[in-house]
Copies of this chain bind each other. A is one copy, B any other.
Amino acid sequence: MSVEGPDRELLEQPWVPMCLGGIQLLVKSCFGDTVYRLLLSDMQNVWEEQVDATVIQNRAQELNKRLHAPVDAFFSHLCTVARPLLAGEASTELVENGVQPSITLLCLRPDLLTLQLKSELAGVPFYWEFRCMQSSIPVVCSQLVRPLLAVSRVLQKQVMELATLLSRKDVEIQDYRESGAVLSRGRLHTECFDLQHYQETFLTQVLPKVCAVQDCFGFDTTLQWLYGAVTVQGIEEQEKSLVSYPVEN
């Protein structure tokens, strides 16, 4: 992980939608040098796990009693097998070898979310469990609340800019009309854009449909792209504005 710490590394990762055991989840993962960090949310709760070499060694032995290997081998295997799965990619190399590693949801409670990885290491089955505890509110603020507020601000700015562009188009169209120009086909005629009227119509007609999807799958490709743009852009600003809790009792 970089000198800026695991929070920044994780902030730069995209949220990957996964469906495990019928549950929609958003997953972020970050693999470093014999450490990994995992963050998951079902939009009702957020869980995370951060493990180091010691935990990896102990848990690998606990879950694979007959396997003896140095921690580097376990971690390297996790990187090869789990990292692409958690990033929403299939590991083509392993599929070609006929071994299909899989991740399943073992447990989902407010205080614990466990994912089980089944794979094969050196010709024998290899098991791993990602044991994620409930995350912390500062992490939720950093990884979800502030970026989503920034995404909203960016999109709101775009709506205002596009509304201004529409008004300029209307002025141009009005000038053509006043000069006596007529359309070759009537269906090309557009109504003058009125932002307030548009917002009111949108509120009653479109908003209910959009709001019907308030789950992980609402975090679509475009929003993911904007999430990435605002987090990369915002990291410096966020670090500058981090409150150091100056008021103590």
Contact = CB atoms under 8 A, between A and B. Distances in A.
Interface of A: 21-23, 41-46, 105-110, 112, 114, 134-138, 140-142, 144-146, 148-159, 161-163, 165-166, 168-173, 175-176, 178-185, 188-190, 193, 202-203, 206-208, 210-215, 218-220, 222-223, 226, 229-230, 233-234, 237-238, 241-243, 245-249
Given A140-B141, A207-B233, A170 B169 contact: yes
B150 A44 contact: no
Chain A interface, >50% SS class: helix
B230 A207 contact: yes
B190 A203 contact: no
B206 A188 contact: no
A80 B214 CA distance: 36
Nearest to A136: B137
A178 to B, nearest CB: 8
11 contacts: A43-B149, A110-B138, A154-B206, A157-B206, A157-B210, A168-B188, A168-B190, A169-B190, A172-B173, A175-B188, A212-B237
Given A138-B44, A185-B175, A233-B208, A218 B166 contact: no
Nearest to A106: B249
Contacts of A179: 181-184
Contact of A202 (B158, B215, B222, B241): B158
Contacts of A149: 43, 148, 214, 218-219, 223
Given A190-B168, A207-B229, A218-B153, A249 B45 contact: no
Contacts of A151: 148, 152
A75 B207 CA distance: 38
A247 B180 CA distance: 69
A53 to B, nearest CB: 26
B137 A247 contact: no
A16 to B, nearest CB: 15
A175 B184 contact: yes
Contacts of A182: 179
Contacts of A202: 154, 158, 161
A37 to B, nearest CB: 17
Given A154-B210, A175-B183, 11 more contacts: A23-B247, A44-B138, A45-B137, A110-B138, A110-B245, A112-B249, A134-B137, A148-B149, A154-B202, A165-B166, A214-B238
